[in-house]
Structure 1
Amino acid sequence: MRNTILKLAIWINRSLSKKPKIAKALASIMPPNRLLYGSSYRKWYNSINFNAPIEEERILAITNYAYSNAKHYSSLNVDLPIISLNDFRNRIPFCDKEIIVNKGENLLTKQFNYSDYEIVTTGSTSGLPTTFYLPKKRYQKEYAFYHRIWSQFGYENQLRGVIRNEKLQENQHYKLNPVTKELIFDGFNSTDSYYQIIYKTLKDFKIEYLQCYASSAYNFAVAAQKHNWDITFIKAIFLSSENYMPHQRELLKNTLGLNVVSVYGHSEKLIMAVDFNGNGFYQVINNYGFLELIDEDGNLIQETGITGEIVGTTLDNYGQPLIRYKTGDLSSYSVYVKNGKRVLDGIQGRTFFKIYNKDNTFVTPTALNMHNDIYLHINGYQYYQPIKGELHIKIIPKESFTVTHENLLISHFSKRLAKDTLVVLKKVTQLTKGVNGKVQIFISNIKEDKLI
């Protein structure tokens, strides 16, 4: 029954993409999420405990299953069973994108059924796409976790504004999804005139919650500040899928006083961490998956203040389980309780990129981090490397940005690169977005650029 209702609702949504009044009426009579998404959704939603300890039994269960039932894991000749977390940490090797690319089919278990899974492909800086399988019913889990997180800010399935990766047709200002309760705007249109349309539409529909990429929320906030809009009707902004940067936090949280929650996750759906206060600290959600940090030598980090790579282990994808999967994201612990509460001090997402000097030496974008006070004078930045030995820094300057700031930035970046590397500062009105509508912090044209 649930699948029939959901399929019908999705079909209606598509049919009404250009009929917002009818879609709005339908949204008002849609069944609540607990009925729409079925028993699995309700089970997930009711089981979520943001303060739960690490779920050792689930970790050991899926690890032992994977190493008994998938060719790749079985070929590693790990003595089974794995009987404790210490056993897991000491004996289970890491998995990475290269293994998925080259041996993905060998990660499938005896339980895998093509009819229950769908293939997902993500891009890679090495040029090789990463392809893996996720359960078709994963949306019930994803919706449950996101809805539960948002409920901490009073969200109860109201119609919310969404500025993410949707590209609308020409002259279409928005569309309304009555199933997911989304008033969807064009995430690729960053003009001031369009943000004025967004503001008016939010007021007309009495929207209280926004779901955005961090860059989209920031651009809207810049327009709000410029035009002195009253945005006190916005009770919270929900961020995900894109790094939440210091200059964005300065405006959204500190200047405008908005409630911001930022969720860290990734395409493989292994782990989740939540910045409930919008202050840059992400609490690891142990109910969702198992997160670890490792240093450059693969050693486990179990103390605060040491930057390492985020590693994830699924708790429920028994068809293609990824065990100790290296995500390529960096962070450190600000709070660490062994097998208990852990809080990450920011997320340095996808920062294993190389910015090359002419002699093939390199630095990463993390090494180029700017001083916090510069964020007061810019509305965003982006790195672009067309060739080795040349780096462009695109910035959106505020009116307060001066030649002095420009010279300080050029000096800052020049000191971190080889002396013969050309640093070019470019003032722009918009940053380059990918096909998914996300602003990429670093873009490179260098074919040899690979993950470290």
Structure 2
Amino acid sequence: MSLMDVARGAYVRSPTFLRRGLAPLVSLVPTGLKFGRTYKHWRKRIARAHADNSWAAAEHLTALRESVQRAHASSPFYRDMLDKALGAGFDLSRFELADLERLPILRKEEMRAAGDGALTVPRATADRGDTSGSNGEKPFSFYLDKDRSAREMAFVYDNWSRVGFTESTPKAVLRGFGLDPKGMYITEWEPALRELRLSVFPMSPEDVGHYLDLIDQHKIRYLYGYPSAMELMARHMCRIGRQPKLPLKGIMPISEPLYPHQRRCITEVFGPVPFANFYGLSEKVLFAREIDNEGRYEFEPLYGVAELVDEDGIRITEPGREGRLIGTSLTSKAMPFFRYDTEDRATLVALPSDANGQRLRVERLIPRRKPDFLVSATGNRVVTIDFTPENPRYFQGIEEYQFYQDRPGYCTIRYIPTEDGTEQDALRVATGLGERAHSQIIFNAVKVDRLAGGRAGKRAFIDQRLDISKY
């Protein structure tokens, strides 16, 4: 673990005031040094895996065996799980891919219960991560390697390189609910990372005109962010009749599924721009890149082991069948995941094999976290993927929740309290969200016994009753 590998990740995750102070100095660091040796090492490994399927398959198995052995030696939770599933004394150095099916499928509930027992390093030497608890579920806390940033970016930049993007290329960024909670500013130029950061709320047609001015000023040719935000920006561009002066060279979606109608809307406005789409998880378990414009994905064999199973946990082998996506991490050391239920779904295209470098190929990949919109008092869509903070303490006193909207500018938080939760907890959340929405959406809270669900029993994060196509 090199100092630069840790420093880059620390800089990216540091508070805004600290980043702004350091940005001018960091921007002077040569690009190659900023990314470091670990980044270069992984870029070479990824390139070799693409060129040599036999090598990729061998490294895939080696990494799995090393991960299993490390978990057994250092994690009480995994030691117990492996001994129960395989028998005490099993030679883990001879672990095979087929042996994975002997292990139980783990859900968030089991990982929560395992706590520090799932760690293979002292907790103080790892970084805590949290899922946002979308769809009303409880946030899930886990731990990540401190030096993960350079390794993660190697996979991401390899994928982006397909559309000509490099480490020194500037990009416009549409992600994050708002850059400033008080709405004092809606854009930020990050010189160290060469990012023009654009708030997704508020994003009025007037805001988009300003965004385009800055895109022209910085001569930006790549757009990165949430597909829902890109779609909204494209719609506003149609309203104001504006285009960037320089045509875009690439679209790089993140965090949400990219739907066909969004792809069509974006390309109709920006032109036939290539997409460099990929699939990943906050837990750093799996990574897949889209291999065509038809929504087919291949999983990276150096990053994780991907499986598709049916509702009974049996591996799916017939192309065309849909199943649950299960992942085993190969790059995460602090808190590995074995046969982790991602809660996402996909349809099998081709099974992994040594011949294809152990790359599972799927289509119709449906992440558990879908894009949703609220509508403000002015009739503008509000991108909500980062609407609620990831800090689990934000929803203290609330067991489950769901947003309901049937009137622009107004939203009801339907909630089920915890045993010790009070009405004041719900009102605190409603007030906080109103402030984050800059008072363009008024929130109220209603206690309920249960939340509305769909046919499969899953709940939408937002029970949206407005005709969203009108906004």
RMSD: 3.4
Counterpart in the other structure of 2:454: none
Counterpart in the other structure of 2:441: none
Q: Secondary structure at the match of 1:332?
A: strand
Report the Cα offset of residue 64 of structure 1: 3.2
Match of residue 114, structure 1, among 110, 120, 123 = 123
1:153 aligns with 2:163: yes
Q: Secondary structure at the match of 1:206?
A: coil
Report the Cα offset of residue 133 of structure 1: 0.7
Counterpart in the other structure of 1:220: 233
Counterpart in the other structure of 2:330: 315
1:183 aligns with 2:200: no
Instruction: Indicate how the Cα distance of structure 1 residues 218 and 60 shifts in structure 2: closer, same or farther if over 3 A, else same.
Output: same
| Structure 1: distance between partners of 2:362 and 2:216 | 36
Q: Secondary structure at the match of 1:210?
A: strand
Per-residue CA distance 1:311-355 (angstroms, 9 max, x = gap) = 11111323221111001001112233434333221321117xxxx
Report the Cα offset of residue 73 of structure 1: 2.1
Instruction: Indicate how the Cα distance of structure 1 residues 100 and 381 shifts in structure 2: closer, same or farther if over 3 A, else same.
Output: closer
Counterpart in the other structure of 2:62: 57
Amino acid at match of 2:170: L
| Structure 2: distance between partners of 1:3 and 1:75 | 33
- Say if 1:158 and 1:181, in contact at 8 Å, map to a contact too: yes
Instruction: Indicate how the Cα distance of structure 1 residues 348 and 37 shifts in structure 2: closer, same or farther if over 3 A, else same.
Output: same
- Say if 1:173 and 1:197, in contact at 8 Å, map to a contact too: no
Per-residue CA distance 1:234-291 (angstroms, 9 max, x = gap) = 1001111112122102222467322112111111001011125443222211122111
Instruction: Indicate how the Cα distance of structure 1 residues 229 and 332 shifts in structure 2: closer, same or farther if over 3 A, else same.
Output: same
User: Which range is displaced more, 204-213 or 228-237?
Assistant: 228-237
Instruction: Indicate how the Cα distance of structure 1 residues 81 and 428 shifts in structure 2: closer, same or farther if over 3 A, else same.
Output: farther
Report the Cα offset of residue 86 of structure 1: 4.5
| Structure 2: distance between partners of 1:133 and 1:28 | 29
| Structure 2: distance between partners of 1:446 and 1:236 | 41
1:250 aligns with 2:264: yes
Per-residue CA distance 1:389-435 (angstroms, 9 max, x = gap) = xxxxx899xxxxxxxxxxxxxxxxxxxxxxxxxxxxxx964145144
Q: Secondary structure at the match of 2:142?
A: strand
Counterpart in the other structure of 2:346: 331
Matches within 5 A, 1:76-87: 76=81, 77=84, 78-79=86-87, 80-82=90-92, 83-87=94-98
- Say if 1:262 and 1:278, in contact at 8 Å, map to a contact too: no
Instruction: Indicate how the Cα distance of structure 1 residues 294 and 180 shifts in structure 2: closer, same or farther if over 3 A, else same.
Output: same
| Structure 1: distance between partners of 2:148 and 2:211 | 31
1:347 aligns with 2:365: yes
| Structure 2: distance between partners of 1:122 and 1:239 | 19
Counterpart in the other structure of 1:265: 280
Counterpart in the other structure of 2:384: 433
Report the Cα offset of residue 308 of structure 1: 0.8
Counterpart in the other structure of 1:2: 4
Q: Secondary structure at the match of 2:381?
A: coil
Per-residue CA distance 1:108-161 (angstroms, 9 max, x = gap) = 23xx03343011122334643211110111111112211222122111221211
Per-residue CA distance 1:360-411 (angstroms, 9 max, x = gap) = xxxxx9xxxxxxxxxxxxxx976xxxxxxxxxxx899xxxxxxxxxxxxxxx
- Say if 1:336 and 1:342, in contact at 8 Å, map to a contact too: yes
TM-score normalised by structure 2 residue count: 0.70
Per-residue CA distance 1:59-78 (angstroms, 9 max, x = gap) = 12212332343222222323
TM-score normalised by structure 1 residue count: 0.73
Instruction: Indicate how the Cα distance of structure 1 residues 102 and 249 shifts in structure 2: closer, same or farther if over 3 A, else same.
Output: same
Q: Secondary structure at the match of 1:184?
A: strand
Amino acid at match of 2:191: P
Amino acid at match of 1:61: E
Amino acid at match of 2:101: N
Instruction: Indicate how the Cα distance of structure 1 residues 14 and 6 shifts in structure 2: closer, same or farther if over 3 A, else same.
Output: farther
Per-residue CA distance 1:277-306 (angstroms, 9 max, x = gap) = 443222211122111111101011123211
- Structure 1, unmatched stretches of 5+, are 352-364, 366-379, 383-393, 397-426
Structure 1: which 4+ aligned runs deviate by more than 6 Å?
A: 7-13, 25-28
Instruction: Indicate how the Cα distance of structure 1 residues 6 and 262 shifts in structure 2: closer, same or farther if over 3 A, else same.
Output: closer
Amino acid at match of 1:91: R
Counterpart in the other structure of 1:195: 208
Amino acid at match of 2:263: R
What is the count of residue pairs matched by the alignment? 374
Counterpart in the other structure of 2:174: 163
Counterpart in the other structure of 1:45: 43
| Structure 1: distance between partners of 2:72 and 2:239 | 57
| Structure 2: distance between partners of 1:337 and 1:434 | 32
Counterpart in the other structure of 1:31: 30
User: Which range is displaced more, 212-221 or 223-232?
Assistant: 223-232
| Structure 2: distance between partners of 1:28 and 1:310 | 40
